Amino acid sequence: MELKDGAIMVAPNELDPFASLWSAFGHYLRQRRNDLGWTQDELGSKVHATGTTVGYWESAKRTPEARVVPSLDEVVDARGMLVILDHHAREAVAGVLPKWFEGFKEAEAAATRERIYSPQSIPGLLQCEAYARCQFAQMRQQDGVVEEWTRDRLTRQAVLTRPVAPLDYWAVIDEAAFNRLMAHPGIAAAQLGHLVALIDLPNVTVEILPTAAGLHACMDGAVVLLDLPDRGTSAWVEPMGEGHLVAERARVAEMERRYDLLRTETLSVSASAKLLRELLESTS
């Protein structure tokens, strides 16, 4: 994965259409596009997506939003086949993702800005595929669950690179998350390279909270603040195994106040970027 002209480019891969229903979907989509003689960018422009996003669909790394599939099917003249594959693929994984998480995904997709403090891990929207898969694998889930959770996480990341109004994303990441990352040398280089590429996007800002900052205003856990059109700012509260949006003005204001206090302890944006590049260099 690399950045080109400000967009994340996805290298084509050999896809086994028998591996899963989403693999069959991606394989058939690529076949129809090639039959039409279009590039990924050309197809993307016809369904209001980037060529990068089309590449993710074709490689089964991300799934298209359900509302996009009928238009995609019509544009490539799939005669309903993409709609059918999409339906059965979603049915096959129904119940794999927690129902409460769907509320967060919908809110995040609608948000204009997201501010997050992540005390233990790299935030989901900034994770590379290898990191996400490794994190989920530690939960010892049934076969197929890790792959579906990983695919879902990668799909969510499209909000950062969507062609119209990409999400304004501000992440404060605790240095502890990088200490844990460096314990996995096989993943560290990929994840750090991914982060270094993402922070060059104009809508992505990352600040690192150094361990030397000591105790701070958000010691009791992660913070997620979402600015939603016509609804103001809401906060997402996610204890283990559940989660919900908080819209009560006083509670949200207190979380915003503490988030602002937290940011007074972080490294600057430029110093954070410098540290990320130094960590990346140390993995080579």
* This prediction's pTM: 0.68
Residues 115, 202: Cα–Cα separation, whole Å: 15
Structure tokens at 49: 């997506």
pLDDT, tens digit, 9 for 90 and up, residues 12-66: 556 778 767 878 898 999 999 999 999 999 999 999 888 888 988 898 777 788 7
Residue that finishes a domain, picked among 92, 127, 144: 92
Q: What residues make up the domain containing 214?
A: 99-282
Higher pLDDT, 122 or 245: 122
pLDDT of residue 137: 87
Residue that finishes a domain, picked among 74, 92, 110: 92
- Kindly state whether residues 209 and 139 are assigned to the same domain: yes
Residues 131, 183: Cα–Cα separation, whole Å: 12
Classify residue 275 by burial, with Cβ atoms within 10 Å: 0-12, 13-18, 19+. middle
pLDDT of residue 99: 56
- State mean pLDDT over 231-241: 75
- State mean pLDDT over 223-248: 79
- Cα dihedral 132, 138, 144, 145 in deg (nearest 10): -80
- State mean pLDDT over 231-250: 75
Strand-by-strand arrangement of the 204-209 sheet: 204-209, 168-174, 113-118, 223-228, 232-237, 244-246
pLDDT of residue 40: 94
- Mean pLDDT (the chain) is 86
pLDDT of residue 92: 64
pLDDT of residue 10: 46
- State mean pLDDT over 142-162: 85
- Kindly state whether residues 142 and 238 are assigned to the same domain: yes
CATH number of the domain encompassing residue 88: 1.10.260.40
* Confidence class for position 4, pLDDT limits 50, 70, 90: very low
pLDDT of residue 53: 86
Looking at the DSSP bridge assignments, the partners of residue 115 are 170, 225
Specify the residue for token string 């280089």: 189
- Kindly state whether residues 65 and 123 are assigned to the same domain: no
CATH number of the domain encompassing residue 272: 3.30.870
Query: E-assigned strands of the chain?
Result: 2-4, 7-9, 113-118, 168-174, 204-209, 223-228, 232-237, 244-246
pLDDT of residue 242: 57
- Kindly state whether residues 78 and 125 are assigned to the same domain: no
Asked whether residue 91 carries a pLDDT value surpassing 80, the answer given is: no
Residues 60, 86: Cα–Cα separation, whole Å: 12
- Spell out the SS3 assignment of 224-252: EEEEECCCEEEEEECCCCCCEEECCHHHH
Higher pLDDT, 77 or 106: 77
Sign of the four-CA dihedral 254, 178, 159, 193: positive
Specify the residue for token string 């996007």: 201
- Kindly state whether residues 133 and 28 are assigned to the same domain: no
φ, ψ (nearest 5 deg) of residue 233 = -100, 135
Residues 253, 259: Cα–Cα separation, whole Å: 10
Domain tally, the chain: 2
Regarding beta strands 113-118 and 168-174, do their DSSP bridges make them parallel or antiparallel, or are they unpaired? parallel
